[in-house]
């Protein structure tokens, strides 16, 4: 949201970055939710999965990950700091807190399903209730333009996501300013019994940096765009650095052990939980996606 000379706030760059990576993000979301969207299995179940992750969530997450080598924090007084992004990602998974749990599990009947109105609006959360979304999609199948049925779920979904784009609440930064805050962590993550002791420990330290803004050096912006244009998992691993490779390999081995022949048929949320149980540690969905992409590539060779 702010930065000194020769740096640019991530908030200024994010919309442009998301446009660059968005086509790839849609492909990743299709992989997670399904190429056919609500087809193939009970629509309500597929819809529940759709509300976990949107293409914009993927694009935001991938942008932060792929920019990590150059990403810096700027204090309110203009001091520039390097920071350990990977520890934050491991402790506060960007995919962990989604509106899915509020839409489908929260018993409140208010318009934002238990999420405070100001948070719901500020974080640009998708505001079409699941029942309404499903009804509108089914209507599009029989009431398409000119009488033609609209049978492309992703065309329909991406159009609906234009106004409010995200399904996930980041736990350690806010959007659209991309400054450090523990606002949603205090609302939800801190009270969650599944939250690790390491996350609680890091949150105490991170509190001292609340209000710091993520930014990039001006001379690295084009390099980040180049990284965002890379599509394959090998390129993604190269971007993330050698320190990430053992984590990917552990996930690959866990998937092979648990589901040697049918991992493509396992619901991604279930698969992620199975892998985490096997490894005894948290694994982000982004890491799981990369592992599955590597498995596919290896099986095709």
| Choice between 34 and 20, residue whose per-residue pLDDT is larger | 20
Q: Which of 199, 231, 263 finishes a domain?
A: 231
Q: What confidence tens digit (pLDDT) does each residue in 129-158 have?
A: 777 888 888 887 765 544 444 457 788 888
Residue 220 and residue 259 in one domain: no
Output the pLDDT for position 155.
Answer: 81
On whether both 167 and 79 belong to a single domain, the answer is yes
pLDDT in tens, 70-121: 999 999 999 999 988 877 877 776 545 677 666 655 544 444 556 788 888 8
Residues facing residue 215 across a β-bridge: 9, 72
Residues 46 and 177 in one domain: yes
**Are residues 212 and 256 part of one domain?**
no
Q: Which of 205, 231, 257 is the last residue of a domain?
A: 231
In this structure, the answer to whether residues 109 and 39 fall within a common structural domain is yes
Q: How many domains does the chain have?
A: 2
Provide the pLDDT for residue 277.
Answer: 85
pLDDT at position 51 is 77
Do residues 160 and 300 both lie within one domain?
no
Predicted pLDDT of residue 291:
77
Mean pLDDT of the chain: 78
Which of 38-42, 87-91, 112-116, 192-196 is the least confident region?
38-42
Give me the domain span that covers residue 24: 7-231
Q: Say whether pLDDT at 30 is over 90.
A: no
**Does 178 reside within a domain?**
yes
Check whether residue 173 and residue 299 sit in a common domain: no
| 212/251 same-domain check | no
Let me know if residue 24 belongs to a domain: yes
Is 2 within the bounds of a domain?
no
Q: How confident is the model at residue 251, as a pLDDT?
A: 87
Look at residue 45 in the predicted model and tell me its pLDDT: 57
Q: What percent of the chain has pLDDT over 90?
A: 22
Out of 231, 257, 277, a domain closes at 231
pLDDT, residue 235, reads: 44
Both 186 and 80 in a single domain?
Answer: yes
pLDDT at residue 177 in the model: 93
232 vs 249: which has the higher pLDDT:
249
Q: Are residues 138 and 203 in the same domain?
A: yes
Q: Do 77 and 162 reside in the same domain of the chain?
A: yes
Q: What's the pLDDT at 163?
A: 75
User: What pLDDT shows up at residue 36?
Assistant: 63
pLDDT recorded at residue 212: 97
pLDDT, position 233: 45
Position 72 scores a pLDDT of 96
């Amino acid at each position: 949201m702010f930065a000194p000379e020769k740096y640019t706030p991530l908030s200024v760059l994010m919309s442009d970055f998301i446009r660059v990576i968005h086509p790839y993000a849609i492909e990743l979301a299709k992989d997670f939710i399904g190429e056919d969207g609500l087809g193939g299995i009970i629509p309500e179940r597929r819809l529940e999965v759709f509300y976990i992750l949107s293409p914009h969530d993927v694009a935001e997450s991938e942008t932060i990950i792929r920019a990590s080598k150059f990403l810096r924090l700027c204090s309110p007084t203009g001091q520039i700091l390097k920071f350990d992004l990977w520890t934050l990602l491991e402790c506060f998974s960007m995919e962990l807190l989604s509106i899915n749990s509020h839409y489908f599990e929260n018993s409140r009947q208010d318009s934002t399903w238990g999420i405070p109105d100001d948070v719901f609006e500020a974080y640009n959360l998708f505001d079409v209730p699941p029942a309404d979304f499903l009804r509108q999609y089914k209507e599009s199948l029989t009431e398409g333009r000119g009488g033609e049925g609209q049978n492309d779920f992703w065309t329909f979904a991406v159009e609906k996501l234009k106004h409010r784009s995200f399904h996930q609440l980041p736990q350690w930064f806010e959007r659209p300013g991309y400054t450090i805050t523990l606002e949603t962590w205090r609302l939800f993550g801190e009270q969650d019994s599944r939250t690790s002791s390491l996350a609680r420990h890091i949150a105490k330290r991170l509190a001292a940096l609340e209000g710091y803004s993520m930014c990039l050096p001006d001379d690295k912006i084009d390099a980040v765009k180049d990284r965002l244009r890379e599509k394959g998992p090998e390129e993604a691993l190269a971007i993330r650095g050698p320190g990430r490779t053992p984590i990917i390999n552990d996930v690959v081995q866990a998937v092979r052990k648990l589901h040697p022949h049918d991992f493509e048929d396992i619901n991604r949320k279930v698969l992620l939980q199975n892998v985490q149980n096997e490894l005894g540690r948290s694994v982000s969905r982004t890491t799981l996606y990369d592992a599955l992409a590597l498995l596919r590539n290896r099986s095709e060779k």
